[in-house]
Amino acid sequence: MVWLFIAMYQLVYYSEQKDLVDRQRYDIVALGKAITNAESGQRGYLLTGHTLFLDTLEQGRTETRQVLVRLDKQTSDQPEVRIGLDRIKQLVHQKFDVMDKTIQVQLHAGDFSPHLSLNKDKGREVMKLIDDQLDEIDSKLQRLREGFEQEIRKRMFASVIGAILLGVLIIGVLLFSYRSTTELLEQVLENQAVAKQASHQADHDLLTGLPNRRSVDVHLANTYQLARHTSKQFAILFMDLDGFKQVNDKYGHGVGDALLIEVADMFKKVLRQSDFLARQGGDEFVLVVGSYLYRQELTQLAERLIKLFSQPVMTRGIPLEIGVSIGIAEYPHHGKHVKQLLHVADKAMYDSKKSGKNRYSFGSE
């Protein structure tokens, strides 16, 4: 009987530890999203000069601090995770430092300061390091979770065996043990569902359900390797919604979020099954197009995407007038590496904004 109680106690303990790891993995996702939101606010301000975007930056900064405080408390007994978290704290400080300096340069030097591009590139480098650290911590937490699951299975087996042996002697104890085991099984299944959801959230945008920035990096890496070995071409389309901020300002974030969901569905209706669509953050989307032969196919695709907004988008019964500015970069025409292609597509998208919005531009020859 003592052996059974010990196994049951350990089962509850490992279940609680696994729950803690699930919460930590969820907070890792939330941390990445908070930093991305802050970055969107910074980029919005640099693009438009509107100080309202600074509120988004500060909100992202506040959410980042809150998540870091939670993770700090949760990882007090996990030295292997603590090391990575301390590194992330340093990188987050650097990231916001770079964003703050960029804002100051914008305020004092104007839109065309040569320092902006340098700070932007530095910010992306720091963000890449943050993403790598987040991935590393998530991998460590996943391994911890797998270890806890293994221990839970062992304790479950021990509990069932103990319950069976004890049930031979005392029917009443058998019934009690059966009830406890059933509850524990339900808890295990529930935890598995939470873990599955957390794993999905780590790679997908919580609002639109589209792949997120992390998934874009993985997909582009795979697409690049395939293209390099098969000598095929692929293209990256950066898409930024025109007029989205005005929708948020006029109707609130609830309508803005509903609009993003509607836009994501509209995009998917005109894309092929092989096209990869993701939400980069804020009102930015990334489209990776493979298996095409001529640039005209990209031109036609861009025109179809722009045509989606030729009429107001009905959202919650409200006709919303928005557009989309698109920047296109082709491999290997505009770059030999993914990072270079992303930069070209991003710049081409800004060229579309400067040329009047709701249009597309290819990267510089």
Active site residue 283: yes
C-alpha to C-alpha distance for 104 and 116, rounded to whole angstroms: 10
Distances (CA, A) of 263 to 43, 105, 266, 312: 21, 34, 5, 11
User: Which of these, 132, 133, 144, 130, lies nearest to 195 by C-alpha position?
Assistant: 144
User: Which pair of structure tokens corresponds to residue 170?
Assistant: 């005392």
C-alpha to C-alpha distance for 279 and 287, rounded to whole angstroms: 9
Beta strands in 211-348 (DSSP E): 234-242, 276-281, 284-290, 313-315, 318-320, 323-331
User: Which of these, 49, 208, 213, lies nearest to 134 by C-alpha position?
Assistant: 213
Active-site position among 257, 283, 346, 351: 283
3 state SS of 58: helix
Q: Name the helix (H) or strand (E) containing 83.
A: helix 79-109
Residue pair 154/13 in contact by the 8 Å Cβ criterion: no
Beta strands in the chain (DSSP E): 234-242, 276-281, 284-290, 313-315, 318-320, 323-331, 360-362
Q: Which residues are catalytic?
A: 283
